[in-house]
Amino acid sequence: MDLAEFFPMGMGHYAIGGLLIGAGVSWLFVSTGLMGGASSFLTTVWTYVTSDKRFSSESNVSSRTWRNVYSLGLIAGAFIGVQLFGLPMNVTEVSPWQLAIGGLITGFGVRLSSGCTSGHGICGMALLDLDSILAVLVFLSTAIIVAQLVTAFGGAA
Amino acid sequence: MRPIALLQVFIAGGLFGLGLTYATMVQPEVVLSFLNFNDFGLLLVLGCATGLTFVVYQLVPKIRKAPLFATKFSARPANARSRTLLGALVFGVGWGLSGVCPGPAIASVGAGNWPVLYALGGMFVGAYLQGRFFSAK
């Protein structure tokens, strides 16, 4: 069995990128004691535009500043990667409707689940949290099934 | 939070965003290529990120009483198992359709992958609908 078969684009950039992501999540913890996925930000920004109590819980309001800064960091890091380090970036050709509908379903799901690929995937699994491990198995399985159905019916992949 | 601590949050986010870009995770095609079993790179990314974080989460609280710029190590907020798993099921549908999850959606703004803004916009709407109609009591 040849590993290259499973990684036609190579392995190095995946490993190094993964370690950089882990370094970011780890540094957040070592420096501030916070555990941060990316998706809570999707809810906490709404506390700026609605006074609805369902959004303006104490934890949402008190964490919104650092979550904004974390998201700004995500944007800055990606910008530096492409503009300064010249990392390859191909603008996606996935159709706008797939992105928009998929995004809407994703936004709803990750907030119901209280975590996404980073919150459950990286932080939760690093804590050996059983619910997070189960969540990762569930969303990976569902995503694999849906993506392969989309491919079978001729969608972008 | 002190400005010096917020600066660390920015640096942490920056490493996260740089890593996502380095690993080509800001390109939905690469994610969809994994979900279609053509390239298993995503598992390598997730494995390396989680492996390093695992070591740090497990070891650092044992050798330090407090983080460098704050008073205590915090825990992840709790969520009912049924909500966690139902939400994960819904998330998987959206992720499989678009190839975009929240971290890369945000990082794509900096990477200049503009069409992904459709997905990010959808995520804000989806998060609003969840919070408005299905928030935890």
DSSP string, chain A: --HHHH-TT-SHHHHHHHHHHHHHHHHHHHHH-----STTHHHHGGGGT---TTT--HHHHHHHHHHHHHHHHHHHHHHHHHHTS----PPP-S-HHHHHHHHHHHHHHHHHHT--IIIIIIIIHHTT-HHHHHHHHHHHHHHHHHHHHHHHTT---
Average pLDDT, chain B: 96
Q: Which of residues 42-101 of B touch A (CB under 8 A)?
A: 42, 44-54, 56-58, 60, 66-77, 79, 81, 83-101
The ipTM estimated for the assembled molecules is: 0.97
Q: A-chain residues within 8 Å CB-CB of B65? A: none
Interface residue B6 vs chain A (CB under 8 A):
yes
> With an 8 Å Cβ cutoff, are B102 and A112 in contact?
no
Tens digit of each residue's pLDDT (9 = 90 or more) over A83-110: 999 999 999 999 999 999 999 999 999 9
Is it the case that residue B112 has pLDDT exceeding 60?
A: yes
Is it the case that residue B109 has pLDDT exceeding 80?
A: yes
> With an 8 Å Cβ cutoff, are A69 and B35 in contact?
no
For CA atoms B75, A125, A7, B90, the dihedral sign is: negative
> With an 8 Å Cβ cutoff, are B22 and A144 in contact?
no
Give me the pLDDT at residue B71, please. 95
Give me the pLDDT at residue A1, please. 65
For residues B54 and B62, what is the distance between their CA atoms, to the nearest angstrom? 13
Mean pLDDT of the region B35-61: 97
pLDDT band for position A112 (50/70/90)?
A: very high
Residue A69 · residue B9 · CB < 8 Å: yes
Tell me the nearest-neighbour CA distance from B118 into chain A, angstroms. Answer: 5
Q: A-chain residues within 8 Å CB-CB of B59? A: none
Give me the pLDDT at residue A123, please. 97
